[in-house]
Structure 1
Amino acid sequence: MRLSTTAARRSLPAALLAGCTAALLLQPAATATPSPAPQRHDFAGGGSTTTLPLPAGAVLAPRGTEPFELLGLGWDGPTRALADAVVRVRTRDAATGRWSGWHRLETEASDGPDDAAHGATAPLWTGRSDGVAVEVRPGPAGVPPGLRLDLVDPGRGAPSTAVRTLPAEPPVEPPSGGPTTPPSVEPPKPPSGGPTTPPSVEPPSRPTAGSAGGQAPRPGIVTRAGWGADESLRDQEFEYTGPVREVFVHHTATATDYACADAPRVIRAIYVYHVKTNGWRDIGYNFLVDRCGTVYEGRAGGVDLPVHGAHTLGFNTDSTGVAAIGTYDGDQPPGPLLDGLAALAAWKLGLTGQPADGRTQLTSGSDASRYPKGTVVDFDAVSGHRDGVATECPGAALYARLPDLRAAAAALQTG
């Protein structure tokens, strides 16, 4: 993901979401324009977005707002309409009344759907805030139409009677008298230079547990009902790709010392931002994992099905995106987090017989990725976001642990 940061200052740490490049602190601008009238939209479970239209090329003077915990800018033009622009914000702590310094937002996409029609900055996790100031210094393309600031309050979560947690499955036992190590299964590959399987709204058949080579047990998964997703926000149709042959690992770039009980609030805020500000059909990630190793369902459509995500620009097809909640540039990923990532990768790849320590090929679907559209790229079956897109995600410390993660996932596949 793209990275923007702000200092941790609450029980829910103040740090950015969904970014992967370090934030810059800038000097404040000298001029300001009158504050526009906000527009508030409330959702189930007490969540809301407050939208402030931004005057072209102007400053939004410091002002009080409805409480929020995440912010970002969206616009109606192309995703790169603010390329080379300077966008910076400062916020007021709702508990202390203190204003933060200025923080720059990342304006160029490194995640999202390959055919995104709307642009947005990387969101910034602020913690509980009730004031904001914004400055936009446009790039060569000028100010895109419909430029606006969105403030997200994740609320308490939408109530639901659906299953809140899928329990972990018991270890897969090999057939009586059979080998203890399942045979290696060569993953399917796209034709050289050809496209991968296009998305479909028709759900594929569910895999039969234990039938594929290297099948690992499913870890426990907190469902969307468990983290309080408001299902009325997302697109009500699901979208599927071909069999999942690749896991891309991300980090959300929130601070690493959060209480794990607060992880659902972070996920709800990302979800609202991805849908309401970015204009995506659902949250971009297929799964998320917190520092305590808890796995969360991301994009809806079935945890065991190849749901088409919006996580790695150009390589969302035939892959799944898993986000580690936290920032792992310098901070080392905790052991339980790595265990959760390994367990999820082993299970998800095992559903299609893909060895977690193997390799696979994907075809780039976007010129905005690291590779021109149509390029066939050879990946490790478990790769970092940066392997497909020019970004620092999932952070240097977590990226350095991917070889260990692949080995641990492969060991789970072989029992």
Structure 2
Amino acid sequence: MRLSLPAALLAGCTAALLLQPAATATPGPGPQRRDFAGGGSTTSLPLPAGTGLAPRGTEPFELLGLGWDGPPDALAGAVVRVRTRNAATGRWTDWHRLAADTEDGPDRATRGATAPLWTGRSDGVAVELRPGPAGPPPGLRLDLVDPGRGAAPDAAAVRTPSPQEPVLPPAEPPATLTPTPPATPTPPTTPTTPATPATPAAPTTPAAPTTLAAGQAPRPGIVTRAGWGADESLRAQDFDYTGPVRAVFVHHTDTTNDYDCSDAPRMIRAIYQYHVKTNGWRDIGYNFLIDRCGTIYEGRAGGVDQPVHGAHTLGFNTDTSGVAALGTFVDDQPPQSLLGGFAAIAAWKLGLTSQPADGSTGLTVGASGTRFTKGDVVDFATISGHRDGVSTECPGGALYAHLPDLRAAAAGLQVS
């Protein structure tokens, strides 16, 4: 395991900040811990005065963020920084800025939160906080997430072979951001076998049928929610569906790239707990996630072959599917195996509704706060980046530069 230091790079966090130490918050309600199946937990440290927390020891955690009971923009203008103590070495990290997460999530969010920060195994935290002009929002708190060992997997779940993945050509240098798609689709090849999580086991969905209709693609192996240890009691128990999926939005999770692929289930459980318990969403926001070894994971519940309504791209969650890369790809190049996973899941998901992976479609803007006017119909490539719909850095310049090649490779997997 190589998660000793956090490496998350959040949108808008590149400017250096020179802050004086924040005052310690006025004593208020003590920590509140909620325990979940498989040893997971979320510990909330109230920040009622909207100031901060002096360095202190805590129960072990691996991801953190600030949440509040007001709307997502209630922390506008605030400056928030955190540092954590490594549980293995006892060393404190540098300061990391947290930014309000207003570009992800459902179109009608009622609670706000910062983007989560993956810290690795930590047992101490300090917070510097300067509220914006409106002051601290109600219910302001720091949430510390321990993903635990995961809920016991479903014994009936089965494992299928890893998918075949297409080879993608390397992108041009990040400054260009416009790699030229290959003239013909690149043939698939066998990916590098990812590390297998030791706990829990990683069951996957059934393999693809042998006969495909025009426009369809083989169904890749997908690690089920049981495979990554989801506690199904956390999420809303009903399922929310949208219309037929006509586009796939590409994301990154803004978390560390320095992880073993066997740690990916822990990271996904932590994001799941944060999205549900801190953000107040009905489930994890993404429909699928992909680790750097190319393993594809089921995200929001409701059926991988169904048009599950996600919470990933503000204003464009309807008739779309959100796929997130575990990691940060602003400057770091995405691994070949991860790109192959993206092409495989996008080709299959779009093929279920006969959408060409290298085509375009019109989407109706479903919320304010996007790059467009609510109610307008906007043309998108059927494989688009998060930044195409909302003013955000996601999915990072390095990953975004590969989208033309991803479209071509995914189209090559679809039967003509």
TM-score in same-fold range (> 0.5): yes
Deviation at 1:33, TM superposition (A): 3.2
The partner residue of 1:93 within 68, 86, 89 is 86
Conserved? CA contact 2:2–2:260, under 8 Å: no
Aligned match of 2:202: none
Aligned match of 1:191: none
Aligned match of 1:15: 7
Aligned match of 1:227: 228
The partner residue of 2:135 within 137, 142, 149 is 142
Conserved? CA contact 1:210–1:216, under 8 Å: no
Q: 1:267-313 deviations in whole A, cap 9, x for unaligned? A: 00000000000000000000001111100000000000000000000
Aligned match of 1:54: 47
Q: Kindly provide the amino acid, as one letter, of the partner of residue 404 in structure 2.
A: P
* 1:244-393 equivalent positions in 2, closer than 5 A: 244-393=245-394
- Mean alpha-carbon deviation: is it higher for 368-377 or for 120-129? 368-377
Deviation at 1:211, TM superposition (A): 6.6
Deviation at 1:168, TM superposition (A): 5.8
How many Å separate the matches in 2 of 1:117 and 1:139?
19
Aligned match of 1:401: 402
Q: Kindly provide the amino acid, as one letter, of the partner of residue 226 in structure 1.
A: G
Q: 1:371 to 1:168 in 2, by over 3 A?
A: farther
Q: 1:163 to 1:331 in 2, by over 3 A?
A: farther
Unaligned segments of structure 1, at least 5 residues:
1-8, 172-206
Deviation at 1:257, TM superposition (A): 3.1
How many Å separate the matches in 1 of 2:242 and 2:284?
16
Matched, 1:68 2:48: no
- Mean alpha-carbon deviation: is it higher for 156-165 or for 41-50? 156-165
Q: 1:313 to 1:170 in 2, by over 3 A?
A: closer
How many Å separate the matches in 2 of 1:376 and 1:352?
20
Conserved? CA contact 1:79–1:117, under 8 Å: yes
Aligned match of 1:39: 32
How many Å separate the matches in 2 of 1:12 and 1:343?
32
SS in 2 for 1:99: coil
Matched, 1:119 2:112: yes
Q: Kindly provide the amino acid, as one letter, of the partner of residue 74 in structure 2.
A: A
Q: Kindly provide the amino acid, as one letter, of the partner of residue 311 in structure 1.
A: H
Aligned match of 2:74: 81
Conserved? CA contact 2:75–2:137, under 8 Å: yes
How many Å separate the matches in 2 of 1:77 and 1:30?
23
Q: Kindly provide the amino acid, as one letter, of the partner of residue 21 in structure 2.
A: A
Deviation at 1:375, TM superposition (A): 1.5
Q: Kindly provide the amino acid, as one letter, of the partner of residue 245 in structure 1.
A: R
Q: 1:87 to 1:25 in 2, by over 3 A?
A: same
Deviation at 1:29, TM superposition (A): 1.7
- Mean alpha-carbon deviation: is it higher for 290-299 or for 99-108? 99-108
Aligned match of 1:102: 95
Deviation at 1:209, TM superposition (A): 8.9
Q: Kindly provide the amino acid, as one letter, of the partner of residue 155 in structure 1.
A: G
Conserved? CA contact 2:234–2:276, under 8 Å: yes
Deviation at 1:74, TM superposition (A): 0.6
Deviation at 1:335, TM superposition (A): 0.7
How many Å separate the matches in 1 of 2:376 and 2:96?
36
Conserved? CA contact 1:71–1:152, under 8 Å: yes
Q: 1:393 to 1:237 in 2, by over 3 A?
A: same
SS in 2 for 1:226: coil
The partner residue of 2:122 within 102, 105, 129 is 129
Conserved? CA contact 2:257–2:327, under 8 Å: yes
Aligned match of 1:186: none
Deviation at 1:254, TM superposition (A): 1.9
SS in 2 for 1:222: coil
Percent identity of the aligned residues?
72
Deviation at 1:377, TM superposition (A): 0.8
Conserved? CA contact 1:57–1:136, under 8 Å: yes
Deviation at 1:20, TM superposition (A): 3.7
How many Å separate the matches in 1 of 2:77 and 2:51?
17
Q: 1:212 to 1:239 in 2, by over 3 A?
A: farther
Q: Kindly provide the amino acid, as one letter, of the partner of residue 297 in structure 1.
A: E
Unaligned segments of structure 2, at least 5 residues:
165-207
Q: Kindly provide the amino acid, as one letter, of the partner of residue 394 in structure 2.
A: C
Conserved? CA contact 2:290–2:338, under 8 Å: yes
Aligned match of 1:240: 241
Conserved? CA contact 1:23–1:103, under 8 Å: no
Normalization by structure 1: what TM-score? 0.85
Deviation at 1:210, TM superposition (A): 5.8
SS in 2 for 1:361: strand
How many Å separate the matches in 2 of 1:102 and 1:25?
10
Q: 1:397 to 1:145 in 2, by over 3 A?
A: same
Conserved? CA contact 2:5–2:93, under 8 Å: no
Aligned match of 1:196: none
Q: Kindly provide the amino acid, as one letter, of the partner of residue 136 in structure 2.
A: V
The partner residue of 2:147 within 150, 154, 162 is 154
Normalization by structure 2: what TM-score? 0.85
Q: 1:243 to 1:222 in 2, by over 3 A?
A: same
How many Å separate the matches in 1 of 2:280 and 2:122?
24
SS in 2 for 1:353: coil
